[in-house]
């Protein structure tokens, strides 16, 4: 799956820049720069995964755990011949298209891509105001944010404060480090 991403490159004494291109090319550039030992720091982030509320989709259990697991399950079931017999298993007619779609297209494409709750007050507000993330809004934090986020509220407040004070590069670095360290939003308050 190819898509546009935002590549942040920074080095001591140099300003950062944003480049948009295709995954394959930028992954090669990012790996080369990161492994060069030159002090360059590279952040590969798909902008559509930067949710309005401040969550980063690639750190979500759905994207980090469930989608890869669905691919493994679908592939193993397909190899074992389930595609031919699934209609004889109770519920199989509905299950097979479901697991196939999960494996091939993923479960969630981000709130910016159309997944999630269409009635999300944060999404509606951010779209109406034309802002990418509510932490960038002059009215942040507001009652919409406090009322909606539940289990993630403390983590999001800390992340969004980092975004407001130190900028998108600091926020991106935090999300990148979390992803590399296996962090996922899990419904419980993050450490």
Residue 11 covered by a domain: yes
**pLDDT per 10-residue tile (average), the chain, 191 residues:** 42 38 44 52 70 87 87 95 92 92 84 85 92 90 75 84 91 89 68 41
What integer pLDDT is reported at residue 163 of this predicted model? 92
Alpha carbon distance 20, 44 (integer Å): 10
What integer pLDDT is reported at residue 36 of this predicted model? 53
Q: How many domains does the chain have?
A: 1
Please, what's the b/e burial string for 75-102 (b: 16 or more CB within 10 A of its CB; e: otherwise)? eebbeeebeeebeeeeeeeeebeebbeb
What integer pLDDT is reported at residue 117 of this predicted model? 85
Q: Where are the alpha helices (DSSP H) in 36-191?
A: 61, 67-79, 82-85, 92-105, 121-129, 143-148, 153-166, 168-180
Alpha-carbon distance values, 95 to 69, 79, 81, 102 (Å): 15, 16, 15, 10
* Structure tokens belonging to residue 53: 């509320």
What integer pLDDT is reported at residue 188 of this predicted model? 47
Residue 20 covered by a domain: yes
Domain that holds residue 37: 6-45
Residue 12 covered by a domain: yes
Model confidence, pTM = 0.67
Report residue 61 CA to chain centroid gap: 10
What integer pLDDT is reported at residue 22 of this predicted model? 37
Residue 69 covered by a domain: no
């Amino acid at each position: 799956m190819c898509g546009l991403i935002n590549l942040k490159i920074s080095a001591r004494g140099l300003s950062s820049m944003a480049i948009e291109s295709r995954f394959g090319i930028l992954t090669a550039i990012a790996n080369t720069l990161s492994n060069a030992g030159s002090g360059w720091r590279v952040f590969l982030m798909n902008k559509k995964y930067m949710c309005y509320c401040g969550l980063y989709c690639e750190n979500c259990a759905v994207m980090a755990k469930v989608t890869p697991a669905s691919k493994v399950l679908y592939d193993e079931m397909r190899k074992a011949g389930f595609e031919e017999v699934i209609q004889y298993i109770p519920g199989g007619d509905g299950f097979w298209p479901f697991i196939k779609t999960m494996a091939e297209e993923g479960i969630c494409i981000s709130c910016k891509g159309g997944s999630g709750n269409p009635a999300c007050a944060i999404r509606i507000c951010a779209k109406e105001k034309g802002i990418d993330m509510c932490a960038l809004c002059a009215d942040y934090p507001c009652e919409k944010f406090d009322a909606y986020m539940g289990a993630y509220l403390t983590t999001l407040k800390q992340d969004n404060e980092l975004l407001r004070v130190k900028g998108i590069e600091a926020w991106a670095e935090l999300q990148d480090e979390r992803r590399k360290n296996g962090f996922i939003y899990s419904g419980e308050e993050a450490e």
